[in-house]
Structure 1
Amino acid sequence: MLTGVNVVLLGGDARQLEVIRKLTELDASVTVAGFDGLHTPLDGAVHAELECEMLQAADALLLPAVGTDDEGVITAVFSDRELRLLDEHIARLPKHCKVYTGMAKPYLKQLCAKHGIQLVELFERDDVAIFNSIPTAEGAVMMAIQNTDITIHGSNSLVLGFGRTGFTLARTLQGMGSKVKVGVRREDHFARALEMGFEPVDTSNLVHHTGNIDLLFNTIPTMIVTAQIIAKLPSRAVIIDIASKPGGTDFRFAEKRGIKAMLAPGLPGVVAPKTAGRIIADCVSRLIQEDTTERRDEQ
């Protein structure tokens, strides 16, 4: 239980509704900002404006999947008002308070470092990332089905990156009957891909492996699907880039060539916000509980 723990939650999307529900069920004191446009009441949570005073007693500060943009603006889909996290806000947090977010940009990292506040990036955790790879893979496959006139079964797919998301996506495509190539760099990933029945290809040599690809999925957040690669793709190919913005695809050249290319970051929050919210809620509530127990043991 989180009785007596003060949690402040700023902005977000439908995923945060599951987080709020979980925290209130655990008896935490939850204060939220950026939900003034929500028509459904948040039972057990207190609505407030983002002010320094609301942060003074916080034991945990929860931010959305991408904490803030480069100017401190927090995404808040349930509000028409701008929500901006400033230096004076972080300065008011107690030193034991931790800031939780999915992934943090330099602005938020610098603010927390300046004031000695620990920042926890949930999407860097293996457990959260692996669970999130499931709705990500399902969303990517959904987009492939919607934007092609062929079945996944019998298609030729190329998945770039064999990390937590690439692994799940490649396995999902394979299970649906696609012939899957996997773009890898590391020798252990090459071996694992081969062992699982994929065709591993070196990402430095992709240009020789794209001539018959129907579906190209990119998970690598750096420019890898270059104009040279796109020039070798058949005109029927569809590119689905699920890396974080700005992705790893030359979208300008893809459009010039007439190849359909889509950037689709944050798929868990789009295709399965309830499931994605529960993943975050379970993790963050457990971490807050551990912090609370440790702090009480030290007192």
Structure 2
Amino acid sequence: MDRQTILLISDMRQVYLAEILTKKGHNVRCLDIRNRETALQQLEKLKRFLDKADVLILPIPVQKVPEQEIFYDILNKNLEKKTLVMGGCFSTEQRELLTGRDIHFLDFMEDTVVTEENAVATAEGTIAELVEKSPYNIDEAKVLVTGYGYCGKAIAKRLGALGARVTVLARRKEARKEAKGDGFYAVDFAFGPEEAMGAAMVVNTVPALVVTEKIIRELPRDAYIVDIASGEGGTDFACAREYGIHADHVLGIPGKYAPKESAYILERSVERFILKEKQGEMSDGF
């Protein structure tokens, strides 16, 4: 391929992704933004290189890029219409910028295949967090899993296989029905405070405030909450601190626990997106 791909490296996923894409024939230029002290220098390089870029691959989430205001300004002033942009969990402002400039972009987290495949790595990494941070074994522990999307399902199933007593909290009746069909006890969030009693662990997958004070106050003080939801998460972390409950917001789990596998997942998504755009160009030509 004669295209130039600019890849911002925020974790090991991108390191492996760069290797894979290079082997596939992409002309990859990497900008390492992991060191905040040198990130501004890397963003200055991005400003200079953007006019040569056919593909720009951003972190998951895009908010990992330091100096977001400067980064936004660079995109706004230097990003060209021909550049395909990919990243994870674009902000509303970034989406509006890209859409307004008629730039084609892909949010990896809205690629169903990526979401399904990433759920496995996310589930395994979440369990690793529980094993490391909770003072209890998973076996026989009462664990609340909030949400029953791809990640919620994968986590609940693996916790169940390890002997946990899993309760799923979900708003949608269909999700609760599915969770029950998979062998779990499932209730609406209205019953969250009742279910929190005696729970050793809570895993939140919902990117909205659902692990509220009503639930937190009923948890044992040695319970552990791990929140893997995007954005600000779905846990009242200030409330958890007030009650002395350990709560972590852990993002980018696949990049931490399965970076190479995750890189292959992203590479396949990149190739699908590029192929789709090429096919679209060919259709426009007729």
TM-score class, shorter-chain normalisation, is 0.7 to 0.9
Distance 1:19 1:292, change over 3 A: farther
Question: Which residue is equivalent to 1:171?
Answer: 157
**Which residues in structure 2 correspond to 1:67-106 (within 5 Å)?**
67-68=62-63, 73=68, 84-87=70-73, 89-106=75-92
Following superposition, the deviation at residue 59 of structure 1 comes to 2.1
Structure 2 residue corresponding to 1:200, chosen from 181, 186, 209: 186
**Secondary structure, counterpart of 1:232 in structure 2:** coil
**Which residues in structure 2 correspond to 1:89-128 (within 5 Å)?**
89-128=75-114
Structure 1 residue corresponding to 2:218, chosen from 229, 232, 244: 232
Whether contact under 8 Å (2:10, 2:64) holds in the other structure is no
Q: Kindly provide the CA deviation profile for residues 116-139 of structure 1, in whole angstroms up to 9, marking residues without a partner as x.
A: 112210111211111111121111
Q: Kindly provide the CA deviation profile for residues 67-109 of structure 1, in whole angstroms up to 9, marking residues without a partner as x.
A: 24698639xxxxxxxxx43445455444332210011013322
**In percent, how many aligned pairs have the same letter?**
29
**Secondary structure, counterpart of 1:128 in structure 2:** helix
Distance 1:249 1:15, change over 3 A: same
Question: Which residue is equivalent to 2:27?
Answer: 29
| Bigger shift: residues 228-237 or 190-199 | 228-237
Which whole-Å CA distance do the structure 2 matches of 1:143 and 1:278 have between them?
23
Higher helix proportion (structure 1 or 2): 2
**Which residues in structure 2 correspond to 1:141-290 (within 5 Å)?**
141-290=127-276
Which whole-Å CA distance do the structure 2 matches of 1:139 and 1:108 have between them?
29
Which whole-Å CA distance do the structure 2 matches of 1:85 and 1:31 have between them?
17
Following superposition, the deviation at residue 173 of structure 1 comes to 0.3
Following superposition, the deviation at residue 218 of structure 1 comes to 0.7
Question: Which residue is equivalent to 1:80?
Answer: none
**Secondary structure, counterpart of 2:217 in structure 1:** helix
| Bigger shift: residues 158-167 or 207-216 | 207-216
Following superposition, the deviation at residue 13 of structure 1 comes to 1.9
**Secondary structure, counterpart of 1:182 in structure 2:** strand
Question: Which residue is equivalent to 2:53?
Answer: 58
Q: CA RMSD in A?
A: 2.6
Whether contact under 8 Å (2:83, 2:104) holds in the other structure is yes
**Secondary structure, counterpart of 1:153 in structure 2:** coil
Distance 1:292 1:91, change over 3 A: farther
Question: Which residue is equivalent to 1:130?
Answer: 116
Following superposition, the deviation at residue 235 of structure 1 comes to 2.3
| Length-normalised TM-score, structure 2 | 0.87
| Length-normalised TM-score, structure 1 | 0.84
Following superposition, the deviation at residue 294 of structure 1 comes to 4.1
Report the AA paired with residue 91 of structure 2. K
Report the AA paired with residue 166 of structure 2. V
Report the AA paired with residue 65 of structure 1. I
Report the AA paired with residue 8 of structure 2. L
Which whole-Å CA distance do the structure 1 matches of 2:149 and 2:214 have between them?
24
Following superposition, the deviation at residue 276 of structure 1 comes to 1.7
Following superposition, the deviation at residue 175 of structure 1 comes to 0.8
Following superposition, the deviation at residue 250 of structure 1 comes to 1.8
Which whole-Å CA distance do the structure 1 matches of 2:74 and 2:169 have between them?
45
Which whole-Å CA distance do the structure 2 matches of 1:36 and 1:236 have between them?
33
**Secondary structure, counterpart of 1:280 in structure 2:** helix
Q: Kindly provide the CA deviation profile for residues 12-32 of structure 1, in whole angstroms up to 9, marking residues without a partner as x.
A: 221111221222112122223
Report the AA paired with residue 19 of structure 2. R
Report the AA paired with residue 7 of structure 1. T
Whether contact under 8 Å (1:237, 1:260) holds in the other structure is yes
Which whole-Å CA distance do the structure 1 matches of 2:49 and 2:215 have between them?
51
Question: Which residue is equivalent to 1:6?
Answer: 4
Following superposition, the deviation at residue 163 of structure 1 comes to 0.7
Following superposition, the deviation at residue 36 of structure 1 comes to 10
Whether contact under 8 Å (2:65, 2:71) holds in the other structure is no
Question: Which residue is equivalent to 1:44?
Answer: none
Whether contact under 8 Å (2:10, 2:65) holds in the other structure is no
Question: Please, which runs of 5 or more residues in structure 1 have no aligned partner?
Answer: 38-46, 75-83
